[in-house]
């Protein structure tokens, strides 16, 4: 009887750990393929802050964000 309970507890802990790592890997891949901010969103944000965004500045910010994601 003790071994049944121990087995259930070990299986539960292993399932939770495995589920966590699978979900983490899935979300990392999803965010890498679908970044949360694109150039248009960045342009609108800068305009709302009172800045006139140039394409050069937008490219620099996008590269900085992509570098930070890796």
Residues 4-48 pLDDT 10s: 999 999 999 999 999 999 999 999 999 888 878 888 888 999 999
Between CA 51 and CA 34 the distance in angstroms is: 26
Structural tokens at position 34: 């679908």
Among 15-19, 50-54, 58-62, 66-70, the range scoring the smallest mean pLDDT is 66-70
The residue count for the chain: 70
Please report which confidence band the pLDDT of residue 70 belongs to, taking 50, 70 and 90 as the band edges.
Answer: low
Whether the predicted model's global pTM rises above the 0.75 cut: no
Q: Which residue has the higher pLDDT, 22 or 53?
A: 22
């Amino acid at each position: 009887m003790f071994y049944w309970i121990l087995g259930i507890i070990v299986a539960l802990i292993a399932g939770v750990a495995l589920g966590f790592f699978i979900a983490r890997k899935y979300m990392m891949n999803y965010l890498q393929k679908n970044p949360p901010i694109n150039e248009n969103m960045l342009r609108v944000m800068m305009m709302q802050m009172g800045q006139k965004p140039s394409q050069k500045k937008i490219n620099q910010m996008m590269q900085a964000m992509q570098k930070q994601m890796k």
